[in-house]
Structure 1
Amino acid sequence: MTNNKNEPRVLALILGGGKGTRLYPLTKERSKPAVSFGGKYRIVDIPISNCINSGYKKIYLLTQFNSASLHLHITNSYNFDRFSSGFVEILAAEQTLEHSGWYEGTADSVRKGLVHCRSQHPTHYIILSGDQLYRMDLRAFFEAHLKSNADISVATTAVTREAASGFGIMQIDSNNKINSFIEKPAKDMDIESWKIPQESRGALPANKKYLASMGIYIFNTEALEKVLDSSFTDFGKEIIPHAIKQMNVNSYIFDGYWEDIGTIKNFYDANIQLTDINPQFNFYEEDEPIYTHMRNLPPSKINSAQMTATLTSEGCVITDCKIHRSIIGLRSIIENNTVLDGVVMMGADFYETREEKNTNKKKNIPTLGIGRNCHITKAIIDKNARIGNNVRINVDGKKYEDGDHGSFYSADGIIVIRKGAVIPDGTVI
C-alpha cells in the first residue's frame, strides 16, 4: 500500500479460534491455528501468508485458548524489517476497566480488540479465520468490495445441497447483494429459492448450487464500529444476519479450493491430499509462498527407503522403511523395517541426546520417533511421540468407538497418537 492518505488502509484481523473440541486431542495443549500441518507448517501460516502475499502486512492475531505455542510460533516466524510498517502482532484476551471477561465469540473478540486497532487508523478491516486451508488473492476480494460500494462483503463458496446443511447459506440477487441468510438449513428443508442466480454462477460446478459463508469478511470501518455497538457476540450467527437487514452486504464468490479443517477427518484428509501429484492445495507456488518458522535444521537423511507420494520435512533420519502417501514432520526418526501407509507424522520439537536415549532405554522407554518392525496405517502421530519396536497400529481390522482410549484417540477410523505418548514395544492398536 502507498503512503497516500487518500489510499485505503487495510488492517487484517485473524481469529485465533476457540477450544477446538472437534479437533481434539490435537487441541488438548494448543489452539487450532497452532496445530502442525503439512509437515513443517502451522495452520495459522495459511491466512497470514494469504495476507502477506496480497500486500496486507498489518496483521493482528486475536487469541485466547491454549495460546502459548501459537504466541511462540508467531514470535519466531514473523519479523518484518525495521524499514517496513508491517507487523504480525498478538492481541490476547485481557482484562481492562471496561471488561473483565473472556472473549465470548468471534465478534466479541474483535469488539474488545478495537481499542488497539484504532491506532492504525484503518479505513477497512479484513477478518479471517485462523484455521482454514485456502489460497485467496485478498487484494482481488478487496477490489471487488470497493467496486460493489458495499458496507460489508462476505466471502462465499459454492456447495452442494447435501453440504449446505453444515453452513450458513446466503441468498443473493443478480448483482451479488445478499438478501437473506439461513443458518445450517435442515436436509429436508426446501431451499430451492436460495440457488445461486445464473448471472453469478460463472464456471461454478453444476452440482454446487448454494452459497456458503467462508467466515471471511471485509468491513468498512464505520460499518464495523456500528455493528459492534451491540450485544452480538458472533459474526456468522448474529452480526451478518442482522447487518443484511440494515446495510449493503455483498457476496464475493470464491471459486478456488477451500477447506474448513476443524475435524480430525477433515484435518487428516487435507494433509493426505497434499501427497497427490496435483494437490488441490499446493505448497509449490513460487510467487505465493506459505511462510513459517525458519529453522536451522540439517537436511533429512534417508539411509535407505522405499518412499512414494510422501512429503518429508527437514531434519529427519529414515532407515530402511516403506512409506506411502504420508506426511513426515520435522525431526522424525523412523527405524528399519517399518511400514507407514497414510500416516500424518508431526515429528518432534527436539532431538534426544545419546545420554537421554541410554537413560530411557534403562527405563524401557522407547526413543523419540518410530522404532523397528512397525506397521502403521491411517493414523495421525502427534509431536514427540515414542513408538517402540514391533508396534502395529490400525492394521489388524480392529474397530474402536470414536473417543478417548488412553494413549490414543479414535475418530472416523483414524487413530490419533497423542502428543508425547509412549507406546511400548509390541503394542497392537
Structure 2
Amino acid sequence: MTDKVLGVILGGGQGSRLSPLTQTRSKPAVPIAGKYRLVDIPISNCLNSGIHRMFVLTQFNSASLNKHIKNTYHFSHFSTAFVDILAAEQTVENAAWFQGTADAVRQCMHHIVNHEFDYILILSGDQLYQMDFQTMIDAHIAASAEITIATIPVTAKDATDFGILKADESQMITSFIEKPKTGLEDWVSDTGETMHEEGRDFLASMGIYVFNRDFLIKILDENPEEKDFGKEILPRAIRSNRVLSFQYEGYWTDIGNISSFFEANLGLTDAIPKFNLFDSTHTIFTRGRMLPPSKISGTTLVKTVIAEGCIIHASKVEHAVLGIRSRIGSETTIMNAYIMGSDRYQTLEEIQQDIDAEKPLIGIGDRCYIQNAIVDKNCRIGNDVSISGGAHLEDGDFGLYAVKDGIVVVKKGALIPSGTVI
C-alpha cells in the first residue's frame, strides 16, 4: 500500500524561536543527537514505514539542508525511491514566498502531481518521534476518511500550546480549537484509561496529516486564500468532511524552541531514553561519514552520548551530548551541555599556525567549565573559559552567544577568547 503514498516534509519558516541555531541554517538542518539533522527524523520514519518517495519543501537558509539531503539519500537506479528538495520559487502565477503550510503545498503541487499516488502524507521537519505511518494510513483507508490527523493525548497544562480536537465514538473529528486559553473542560476527550491516569485528557494535533490525493487538490484549489492547514484548511474541513483522529501514544516532541531542543537532546543520555536511538526497528538514517572511532583519555564519563571522530581529554563529562569531531582539552568539565562538534579536522600545519598566533583551536580548550549550554559547530573556545548557564542569566543576544531560558548558546563558528567568563 505504501507505493500509493507520497511524503511531503515541510521545512518550516524562519525558525526564529530556535535562533541562533537557525541564523545560518533552516530548522530541519539543525544538528541533533550529535550526528543527525532534524530532517532525518521524518525521512527515517517514512523509510521505516515503507514510504520511499518524499519531497522536502524549503524556503529559508536552505543551502546546508539541500547539501545534506543530496549527500545522504541515494537510492538504486532501479528504484523509484527519492528524497527531493522543492524550494520556494517565483513563477508567473505566483511571485510570493510560501505564506503558510497549505500555501507551501499549493505552490509545489504542480511538481507533486507529476507522480502517481493515492494518498499524501504531510509531515513537519522539526519534530522528534518514531512512528509507523503504515498503521495510520491503514486506519485512514479503513475509515473511508478524506483526511486523517495524527493526535496525541496531552495534559491541561500543555493543551494551551496546541490545536485541540474532539472526536466521536468512531474517532471522526467533530470540532477543533487553536490553542485554547479558557473553557478547557469542554474539550476533554476519552483518550483511554492509561492516558487518563497520566492526566492526558486532551487530543492535540501533531501536525501530521494524511490526505486523499483528489481531495487535497480540490480543497487547495477551491480556497486559494487559505494559507495554513492547522488554522484554516482543517477547521473548515472538519465541519463538512470525514476527518479521522489517529491517536498516537508514543514519545513525540515539537522542537519549537531552544528549551525543548536542549531537553530533547539531553534526554538521549537517559538509561532508557524516551526516544530510542538503539531500536533497530526504527533506525534513524543520516549521512554516512568515514570517521575514525572516538578517542578518550583520562575522562570520567557519566550519562554521555558521544558521536564518531571525537578527541576527548576532559577531566569529566556528565549529562552531555558530544557531536562529531568534538575536541575537548584536558582538565575541562562539561555538564548539562550539547557540544555539536565540527565539520572538519584542522591539519597539523593549521594547528601550529593557530598556536603561534595564540588563536584558540577548533573545539574546547584546557581547564574550561561549561554547564547548561549549547555549543554550535566549528566554535573555537580558548583555555580557562567558564560558561555557566542558568536562571541567573538575562535572556538576549550578546554577539558571540545568546541566552534563551537560561541556556547559553554559543553561535556557530564563534571564537571565545581564553579566560572569558559567561
TM value normalised by structure 1: 0.95
1:27: which partner in 2? 22
CA contact (8 A) 2:163 2:176 kept: yes
1:43 Cα offset (Å): 0.6
How far is 1:202 from its partner? Answer: 5.3
Q: Where in structure 1 are there 5+ consecutive unaligned residues?
A: 3-7
1:124 aligns with 2:137: no
Residues 159 and 208, structure 1, Cα contact 8 Å, conserved in 2:
yes
Report if the CA contact (8 A) 1:152-1:248 is conserved.
yes
Tell me the equivalent position of 1:371.
365
Query: What CA distance in whole angstroms lies between the structure 2 residues aligned with 1:149 and 1:281?
Result: 32
1:165-184 deviations in Å (ceiling 9; x for gaps): 11110011111111111011
Question: 1:114 matched to which residue of 2?
Answer: 109
CA displacement at 1:222 relative to structure 2: 1.5
Please tell me whether the aligned partners of residues 321 and 334 of structure 1 are also in contact (alpha carbons under 8 angstroms).
Answer: no
* Matching of residue 426 in structure 1 with residue 419 in structure 2: yes
Conserved 8 A contact 1:33-1:44? yes
User: Residues 91-140 of structure 1, C-alpha deviation per residue, up to 9 Å, x if partnerless?
Assistant: 11112222121111110010011111111121110000000000110000
Quote the sequence identity (%): 49
| TM-superposed deviation, 1:205 | 4.0
Corresponding position: 1:359 with 2:353: yes
1:321, distance to aligned residue in structure 2 (A): 2.4
**SS at 1:358 equivalent:** helix
Is 2:401 the counterpart of 1:408?
Answer: yes
**Counterpart for residue 201 of structure 2:** 209
In the alignment, structure 1 residue 228 sits paired with structure 2 residue 220: yes
**Alpha carbons 1:168, 1:212 under 8 Å: kept:** yes
- Give the match's secondary structure for 2:384: coil
Does the alignment pair 1:57 with 2:52? Answer: yes
Could you tell me which amino acid in structure 1 is paired with residue 348 of structure 2?
A: R
What residue identity is the alignment partner of 2:387?
I
CA RMSD of aligned residues (A): 1.3
> Partners of 2:130 and 2:142 in 1: how far apart?
22
- Counterpart residue number, 1:5: none
What one-letter code is carried by the residue in structure 2 that aligns with 1:212?
A
Tell me, in whole angstroms, the C-alpha distance in 2 between the residues paired with 1:114 and 1:34.
23
1:192-271, aligned counterparts within 5 Å?
A: 192-197=185-190, 201=192, 203-206=194-197, 207-229=199-221, 230=223, 231-271=225-265
| Alignment map for 1:9-88 (pairs within 5 Å) | 9-88=4-83
Q: Are the counterparts in 1 of residues 22 and 30 from structure 2 also a CA contact under 8 Å?
A: yes
Q: Secondary structure at the match of 2:112?
A: helix
Number of corresponding residues = 419
2:89 maps to 94
Give the structure 2 partner of residue 310 of structure 1: 304
Alpha-carbon contact 2:391-2:406 (below 8 Å) kept: no
Structure 2 distance, partners of 1:398, 1:45, is 32
How is 1:368-407 mapped onto 2 (pairs within 5 angstroms)? Answer: 368-394=362-388, 399-407=392-400
Aligned to 1:328: 322
Q: C-alpha separation between the residues in 1 aligned to 2:367 and 2:285? A: 36
Alignment partner of 1:308: what SS?
A: strand
Residue 297 of structure 2 aligns to a residue in which SS?
strand
Q: For residues 261 and 195 of structure 1, what CA distance do their matches in structure 2 show? A: 25
Paired amino acid for 2:140: H
C-alpha distance in structure 2 between counterparts of 1:137 and 1:202, whole Å = 23
Secondary structure of the 2:171 match is: coil
One-letter amino acid of the counterpart of residue 250, structure 1: L
| 1:364, distance to aligned residue in structure 2 (A) | 2.8
Tell me the distance in 1 between the aligned counterparts of 2:39 and 2:61. 14
Are 1:159 and 2:154 an aligned pair? Answer: yes
SS in 2 for 1:120: coil
Structure-1 separation of matches of 2:173 and 2:193: 17
Normalised to the residue count of structure 2, the TM-score between the two structures is 0.97
Q: Which runs of 5+ in 2 are unaligned?
A: none
